[in-house]
Every structure is written in structure tokens, then in C-alpha cells.
A and B are shown apart, each in its own frame.
Chain A
Amino acid sequence: MSGKRLSLERKKMLAGYVYIAPWAIGFALFMLYPLIYSLWLAFHEVVGVGNFDLEPVGWGNFNKAFVLDTQFIPLFISVVQDAVINTPLILVFSLFIAILLNHKIRGRAFFRAAFFLPVLIGSGLAMQQLLYAGVGRDTLVNGIGVPEEVFLYMGPTFSQIVFDMLSRLTVVFWKTGVQILLFLAGLQGISLSLYESARCDGATEWEMFWKITLPLISPIILLNLVYTCVDSFTDINNRMMVYIKDTAFTKIEMGYASGMGWIYFMFIFLLLIIVFVATRRFVVYTGEK
């Protein structure tokens, strides 16, 4: 009896591996192998372009990135700076919008559709064309409806600062579509009975936000945080990405490009580990696990 059961269990286990197989094969072919190869490549330099003759250079590529290349570190810092400034803005803003959209309001479907639309443009070439055309420069200024007279009174320097800030915000806002949807899904998942019982105990809306809403959507905040970070580091308008691509395919310094890619990857990896460790105490998981 037990022997038969074991074999059934084993059959089921094998079925599990069959289901994972497509991913495992794809992972080995399109992720793991290239990743290991690129690490190996990072310690080499391509000398013969025609047939990829490699020459070991040791830590040369890493040395080049940090010491010799005058462009790498400034670019890296600017990319990190963008991510550090944009990520909290995106999170706070998308949570704010999601809470507003979670109200019972007229035209909710329209608003939800509207806030998702920029995702269709994405960060692709269409977005680049729009930014070249100057969209985003004055959008938020128009949206808030700041009259031009105000800018005249503020003086050129100060109004320039405000203007730059608003135009930066506009582009940041357009990146929030996916995050708004995730937050909305999270907010809808909180059962109303929790709010009702809190209300019975005399909690204010403000207290309910901090004591119920925020802890219960904390897993989604973490998910969004990770998603936003990764998204901003791998955006195609990201100058670091463009620089690595140019190094590899225009200057044909593939070893160096791999080296930079690995520095970049290790950085994101460490950053996410820090994020996970730092947020572990604040993320609340309900349910079985």
C-alpha cells in the first residue's frame, strides 16, 4: 500500500519537473549560460572581431571602468541619482492616485483607463519622440494651471527651478501606470469589515490609513519598490544602458561592456538585498504563510 503511494508521489514529483522544464531550459539557454559567459568575458577583451579572438586581461576591464574611463562613474552616479529621486516619487504618487481611484466616484472607469494610458507609450521610441517634441516640459505646469504671470513675478532663476521640477515630475508621473494598478488591486483586496470594526472602535480615517491600509498593502509596496527600481535601471532612455550598448556594438569593446554590465548588475543586486533586509520588519504578510 505504502509502496504504491510512494510511487504515486514520485510520479507527481516528476510531473512537477516536467512543468518546470520549459522555464529551466529557457533559463539555462537564455539567462544562465549568457550570464556566466559574460562574467568570463568581463575578464577578457575581444581582439579579433571577425572570429571573437579573446585575450585575458584580468581585472583590466574593472580597473578601466573605475579608474581610467572618465565617463563611467559620472554616468553611473547620474543613473543612481535618477532612480533614488524618482522611485519614492513614483511610489507615493501612485499610492495617492490609487487611493483616490478606490473611492466610489463617477467615471471611475474613465479615470482608471486614463491613468494607464501612458503605459502604452512605455519608455520606447515613441516616448523619445514626444520628449524631443517638448511634451513633458510644460504639461504639469498646464495641468496645475499655473498662470504665466506667476512665473513673471517669481523671477527667472526661481521660476526655472520650479519649471524644471514640474517637468521632471510629469515624466515621472507617466511611469506610474503599472504601479497604480498594482496598488489598486491591493487596496481592493483589503476586506471592508476591517474598516468597519475599526470605525466601531472610534478610529479616524487618518488612523485607519496608517494602521490598516498601509500595513496590509505593504507587500505590494515592496513589490512596487522592486519593480520601480528594476524598471528605472533597465529603462532604454537610461544613459548607462545606452553607453554599454555603444561600447559593445559601436566601439566593439565587448569585454569592457560585459565588465560594465556586471558592475551594474552587482549594484542592482546589492541594492535589492539592502531593500529586502531593510523592509523586512515593515512588511506584513497575512494569510497562511
Chain B
Amino acid sequence: MKSIPISKSKQRLAEQPTSIASKAKALRNNSLLSRISSKSRWFSLIYRIFVYVILIDLAFVFLYPFLYMITTSLKHPVDLMNFTIKWIPTSLAWENFYYGMKGLQFWTHFKNSALISVLSVVGQVLSCSFVAYGFARIKFPGREVLFVLSMFTMIIPPQTIIVPLFMQYKTIGWLDSMLPLIVPSFFANGLRGALFIFIFRQLFRGLPWELEDAARVDGCGSFRVYWKIILPLTPPAIVVTTLLSMVWHWNDFFEPSIFLTSEEKFTLPMMLPRLYQSLDTLTGSSFEVFSLPVVMAATFLALVPMLLVYLFLQRYFIQGVERSGLVE
């Protein structure tokens, strides 16, 4: 009596794998790509080649400014005039970099730039994540209105408020110092501070509440929850914010050019338009001698710190963007 159901179930068991497999096969056959590839493998091959050709081609367009900068910066003036030479110089003119360093007065202005951008980054990461914790994890009346207001600051063009800011800083004696460039960062403002608040808030909202509740039951205050639990869980957001904030502060030209007046306080990129002038006074010769290669060497030098930072953070950065909850 009992043997029949067992054998039946065995039969069923034996049947199941094949039925699943055939279903899966049917499903796979149903999908467009495989339907086409079963008809002609050529289509998918051609499609792949097409994707690679386009990507390589466009990657070239995107790498072009860097390739151009590097190769041109290593050219002698003679090579520059020679139309048969497009990319590879006949001999490497390393002295362009020497003049570039000299013309930019690299180390002085590197120090200024580094000081401004590193301090701003520290300020923005700390203050924006702090504020974002409040916006993301604590309920209080007026939260939504304040958040919308903070996002609203993103669309205020700097030109609109630059005159009053200038007057304000003049009154308190901050002109020609780095304070106007650094201090707003510590108050979750500064360059695109609102964007960073947004990034942190998005990520904080996605973290499980149980973690926080457990910590609170154990007697953690909300500051310790933020500092010891929430912040360490979000390296992606920290990396993304650090890199973007660093690059934007480093390249910023509008505010430094208004608030800084004496040359020894200029940032590195601000020296680029003064390159010839500065080389002339330093070497006592006319700028005809220095040409495009020196300018390109200097431009490259002004960007090298950012390149190094990016190379160092690149892997974490791209993972970070994918996981940083920028996705709604």
C-alpha cells in the first residue's frame, strides 16, 4: 500500500529537475538576446564590437585633454612647429616642467591650495554629515521645510550674493585671508554644501533603525550614535564627498579671485594666467622663449595633485557612487 505513493513521489522527484530545466530553457529561449543569438551569433558579436568601439572612441575623447597636456608639455618648440609630429616628441623636454614649477612658484601656491581645500573638505565632511544626520534620523517640527530650504541654496548663483559677502568680509576684516573660503565649509555651506548634505542624508536614511535603537537602549546619546555608529557605516559617502569637495575647492576660481588680493596667497590654479608674467620677472627674459609646452606643463602641474588623489581614491569612489544611496 505504502510503496505506491513513495514510488510516485520518487517519480515526481525524478521528473522535477528536467521540468525545471526545460522551463528555464524555454524562458531563456524566450528572451530576445538569446532568441537572436540562437538565430545568428553574429548579431551579438557585432553588438559587442559596436559597444567596445564606441566606448574606446569616447574614452579617447575624454582622455584627450590629458594626453594632449602630457605630450605637449614634453615637446621642444621645434617639435611643436613640426607638423609631422602629432603625439610623440622626438626628444623629451623636461625643462618645460622646470619652468612650469618656477613660473607657478609651485610649492608656495601648492601650500595655499592644499590648505584651503583640505580644511574645506574636513569642514564639509564633518558638518554636512552632522547636519544630514539630523535631517535623516531625527523627527522634529519644520524638518521638511528646513530641508527644502537647504536644497534651495544650491540654485543661488554665487554672483547674486558676492557683493554683500564681499562687504561683510570687509567689515570683519577677513578680506585677503583664507577664512572666507574655509569657514563656510564648517557650517555645512561652502561650495555645493547642500549637495553633500543631500548625499549623506540619502545614505543615512537607508541604514537600519535597529542598529540605532540597540545603541540607544545601551545608553548611547545621539551624538555618539552619529559619531560611532552611523558615520563609520558610510565610507562610500565620505569618499564621494571628499573627492568632489576636494576637486571643486581646488579648481574654484570665482571666490578666491575676489577674496584673495595679494599674490603670495593665491591658489595654484590662479597662477596659471600669470605664468608668463611671473616667468619674465623671474628669469629676466622675454616670454617668447616660453611657449605652449611650458603652459601645458604648468597646467598639468596644477592638476597633478587632484590626479593623484583621484588615482588613490578611484576604486572606492566608483563603488561609493554606486552604493551611496544617490539612488532614490
B56–chain A nearest beta-carbon distance, Å: 8
**Bound CA span A200–B306, Å:** 47
Query: When the two chains form their complex, are residues A185 and B160 in contact, meaning their CB atoms are under 8 A apart?
Result: no
Q: Quick one: CB contact mask for B274-305 with A, threshold 8 Å, 1 for yes?
A: 00000000000000000010011001001100
Q: Does A153 contact B (CB under 8 A)?
A: no
- Would you call A261 and B160 a contact (CB within 8 A)? yes
Chain B residues near A189 (CB-CB < 8 A): 327
Q: Contact check, A143 vs B61: say whether CB atoms are below 8 A apart.
A: yes
Q: Nearest residue in A to B327 (C-beta to C-beta)?
A: A189
Q: Which of A110, A117, A136 is the most central at the interface, judged by chain B CB atoms within 10 Å of its CB?
A: A117
- Closest B-chain residue to A258, C-beta based? B163
Within 8 Å by CB of B247, from A30, A120, A188, A223, lies: A120
- Measured in the bound complex, the distance between the Cα atoms of B53 and A143 in whole Å is 11
Tally chain A residues at the interface, Cβ within 8 Å.
Answer: 106
What residues on B are CB-neighbors of A200 within 8 Å?
27, 30
Interface of chain B residues 145 through 195 with chain A (CB within 8 A) = 146, 149-150, 153-168, 184, 186-189, 193, 195
Is residue A16 contacting chain B, with contact meaning CB distance below 8 A? yes
- CB A132 to nearest CB in B, in angstroms, measures 8
Give a binary string over A152-185; 1 marks a CB under 8 Å from any B CB, 0 the rest: 0000000000000000001001100010011011
Residue of A nearest to B314 (CB): A113
A248 to B166, alpha carbons, bound, how many Å?
A: 10
Chain B residues closer than 8 Å to A29, beta-carbon distance: 184, 187
Residues of B within 8 A of A173 (CB): 58, 61-62
For the complex, give the distance between the alpha carbons of A139 and B63 in Å: 10
The secondary-structure label for the interface of chain B is helix
On whether the beta carbons of B270 and A120 are closer than 8 Å, the reply is: no
Q: Which of A5-36 contact B (CB under 8 A)?
A: 12-20, 22-27, 29-31, 33-35
* Interface residue? B229 (CB, 8 A): no
In contact, A30 and B27 (Cβ under 8 angstroms): no
A264 touches B55 (CB 8 A): no
Q: Is B99 an interface residue (CB 8 A)?
A: no
Chain A residues within an 8 Å CB radius of B247: 119-120, 122
Give the complex CA separation of A37 and B169 in angstroms.
13
| Distance between Cα atoms of A265 and B195 in the complex (Å) | 18
CA distance A258 to B163 in the complex (A): 7
Q: Is the CB of A26 within 8 A of B189?
A: yes
Q: Does B106 contact A (CB under 8 A)?
A: no
Contact with A along B134-149 (1 / 0, CB 8 A): 1100111101001001
What CA separation (Å) do A194 and B198 show in the bound complex?
Answer: 28
Residues of chain B from 106 to 135 with CB closer than 8 A to chain A in the complex: 127, 130-131, 133-135
**CB contact under 8 A between A34 and B157, given known A13-B140, A22-B127, A199-B30:** no
Given A126-B299, A130-B65; A265-B131 close (CB under 8 Å)? no
Chain B CB within 10 Å — which of A38, A260, A268 has the most?
A: A38
Q: Is the CB of B248 within 8 A of A181?
A: no
Interface with B: A70-78, A84-92, A229-237, which one? A229-237
Which A residues are in CB contact (< 8 Å) with B226?
A: 19
Q: What are the residues of chain B within 8 A of A52 when measuring CB–CB?
A: 167
B253 contacts chain A at the CB level, 8 A cutoff: yes
Task: Report if B25 contacts A (CB, 8 A).
Answer: no
Taking a contact as CB atoms under 8 Å apart, the answer to whether A133 and B295 are in contact is yes
- What chain B residues lie within 8 Å of A34 (beta carbons)? 161, 164-165, 168
Whether B168 pairs with A33 at a CB distance below 8 angstroms is yes
B231 at the binding interface (Cβ < 8 Å): no
User: Shortest CB–CB separation between residue A207 and chain B, in angstroms?
Assistant: 9
Per the bound structure, the CA–CA distance linking A110 and B320 in Å amounts to 16
Residues of A within 8 A of B31 (CB): 199
| A69 CB within 8 Å of chain B | no
A135 near B: Cβ within 8 Å? yes
B158 to chain A, nearest CB (A): 6
| A33 smallest CB distance to B (angstroms) | 7
Interface check A114, CB cutoff 8 A: yes
* A143: chain B residues within 8 A (beta carbon): 57-58, 60-61, 64
Docked-complex contact A265 and B64, CB < 8 angstroms: no
- Asked whether any CB of chain B lies closer than 8 Å to the CB of A95, the reply is no
Measured CB to CB, the nearest residue on chain A to B195 is A227
Contact with A35, one of B54, B72, B146, B156 (Cβ below 8 angstroms): B156
B59 in contact (CB, < 8 A): yes
Q: B260 within 8 Å of A by Cβ?
A: no
**Which residues of A (27-85) have their CB < 8 Å from a CB of B?**
27, 29-31, 33-35, 37-38, 41, 52
- List 15 A-B residue pairs with CB atoms under 8 Å apart, sorted by A's residue number: A16-B143, A22-B127, A33-B168, A111-B55, A119-B247, A121-B303, A139-B61, A143-B61, A170-B64, A178-B244, A219-B328, A241-B254, A248-B163, A264-B157, A268-B155
